[in-house]
Structure 1
Amino acid sequence: MDHQIILNKVVQCGLVPLFTHHDLELAKSVLDAAYDSGIRVFEYTNRHNNAFEVFKSLKIYAEKYPDLMLGIGTIFEVSDAKRFQNAGADFIISPAMVTDVAEFCQSRGIFYVPGCATVTEVNLGKKMGSSLIKIFPGNVLGPAFIKAVLSVIPDIKLMATGGVEPNEDNLKNWFKSGIHCVGMGSQLFDVKALEKGDFSGLKTNIEKSLSIIQNLRK
């Protein structure tokens, strides 16, 4: 898929949910709830022994949403990047600046988002072809780091992940720093509630967050 199309959709949404669970049916229900709430870019995170099997089936299930992009996160190895690309991942995200994964994605034309925690890493990610950089861990680096990075590398787009909360004060601090989008995991998903079949909290969090982001951009 064209990188500019992916980038535009990520930035337009402003919020990328980061979700993982070993149960495929629960993952399907979460994906449905997220889509119904307005999400068009979704990251399934590679953190379970059966993550590949769940993702592969989830990607097939997601074909009913032709405007949804489903990618894989927590990729550290080229072997995993290959597997998930073959399973149809629309994009690949790492928690770190993994140069051999970046090289693999560049050679295959895959949209790759590295996780960076220094200006040096952000600059390297940009040089290796990434048009979007994940600032991680956001709760350690904070919005001030975003401002500092953009003051010296103003033409890169940044996504904050870690320490992002679905409330106005928190989102305002991030977007005022110049961030283009945020990734949100545990703050967005109450796993115990989801396991009981209660998706109302998830829908509320997503809808509220998307509304706040839209208002902050006015």
Structure 2
Amino acid sequence: MHRSETITLQKLKSTISRNGMLPFFNHQNIDCVLEVMKILKRCECDVFEFTHQRDARGIRMFAWLADRAKELGITMGAGTILDASQANRYIRVGAQFIASPFLHEDVAQACHDNDVLWIPGCTTLADVQQATAWGATAVMIIPGNILGPDFVKQVVTIHPELMCIPSGGVTVAKNNIGSWFDAGALCVRLGDALFTREDVAVKDWGKIESNVFHAFQGVKQLKSSILRTKSISI
């Protein structure tokens, strides 16, 4: 995939916000990852994060999967990126966004230079402030189960222009997801909650597809309900 095919940052942010769910997954078996991507597309979720695996196969897998993502109409990014070297390698083979668990100015610069969305992990308001100073327009709130929705409310109050994506400890339970959207999150990042190790181990794709479908439908309904409520209150 050539960089000239990269979608605009605004369109990408709109896609992530519209989906309301950022699924992430990684597996040593490339066919398993492709099956997950096909499930996501059948469930009408068209954004996906392939988390970096710490061996040479990761980049090769991503490059092949990026071509499959294009065929499926899925926007695909790379996650758990730790430095600019990794970021640049994934960007060269088609990553449309880069997610990092920590703040790294060199990763921010690599994304900026390539017009690619950077989503850094933030655990404090100081982290959020630094991320915005380095040009971030979307941040991961991690660990979500420790910081909680009240932290998202604080971030949104101070930086209403930011896209907040809670991650870690986020479940598909209606009250859990609802609390994040009510706090102002535009998206939730989900991994094991969608693709449990047990289901993946036995390749129970039917059960996984059911999980993804119900989670995605629940997310859309919750977001719609919360937006209607806020509109009425205004």
What interval of TM-score do these two structures reach, taking the shorter chain for normalisation? over 0.9
Q: Alpha-carbon deviations, 1:142-182, whole Å to 9, x = none?
A: 11111111222222110011111112011111111111100
Q: 1:131 is matched by which residue type in structure 2?
A: T
Q: Does 1:28 align with 2:34?
A: yes
Alignment of 1:192-207 (within 5 A): 192-207=198-213
Q: Alpha-carbon deviations, 1:107-164, whole Å to 9, x = none?
A: 2211111111111111221222221111111111111111111222222110011111
Which residue in the other structure is 1:19 paired with? 25
Aligned-partner Cα distance in 2 for 1:119–1:24: 38
Aligned-partner Cα distance in 2 for 1:51–1:147: 36
Q: 1:29 is matched by which residue type in structure 2?
A: E
- The number of residue pairs the alignment matches comes to 217
Native 8 Å contact 1:17 1:42 kept in 2: yes
Q: Does 1:145 align with 2:173?
A: no
SS at match of 1:114: strand
Aligned-partner Cα distance in 2 for 1:193–1:186: 10
Give 1:187 deviation, angstroms.
Answer: 1.3
Give 1:215 deviation, angstroms.
Answer: 1.7
Q: Choose which of 114, 127, 133 in structure 1 pairs with 2:133.
A: 127
Native 8 Å contact 2:137 2:161 kept in 1: no
Which residue in the other structure is 2:165 paired with? 159
Q: TM-score, normalised by structure 1?
A: 0.95
Q: Does 1:83 align with 2:89?
A: yes
Give 1:48 deviation, angstroms.
Answer: 4.0
Which residue in the other structure is 1:73 paired with? 79
Aligned-partner Cα distance in 1 for 2:198–2:58: 19
Q: 1:110 is matched by which residue type in structure 2?
A: V
Give 1:60 deviation, angstroms.
Answer: 1.7
Give 1:192 deviation, angstroms.
Answer: 3.2
Structure 2 gap ranges (5+): 1-6, 226-234
Aligned-partner Cα distance in 2 for 1:109–1:175: 28
Q: Alpha-carbon deviations, 1:67-108, whole Å to 9, x = none?
A: x10100000111111110111111110011111100121122
SS at match of 2:32: helix
Native 8 Å contact 1:116 1:134 kept in 2: yes
Aligned-partner Cα distance in 2 for 1:191–1:31: 16
Which residue in the other structure is 1:183 paired with? 189
Native 8 Å contact 1:22 1:54 kept in 2: no
Q: Choose which of 95, 101, 113 in structure 2 pairs with 1:95.
A: 101
Aligned-partner Cα distance in 2 for 1:201–1:166: 14
Q: Alpha-carbon deviations, 1:40-60, whole Å to 9, x = none?
A: 110000034222222111112
Aligned sequence identity (%): 29
Structure 1 gap ranges (5+): none
Moved more, 146-155 or 7-16: 146-155
Q: Does 1:54 align with 2:61?
A: yes
Q: Alpha-carbon deviations, 1:22-65, whole Å to 9, x = none?
A: 11111111111111112111000003422222211111222212
Which residue in the other structure is 2:221 paired with? 215
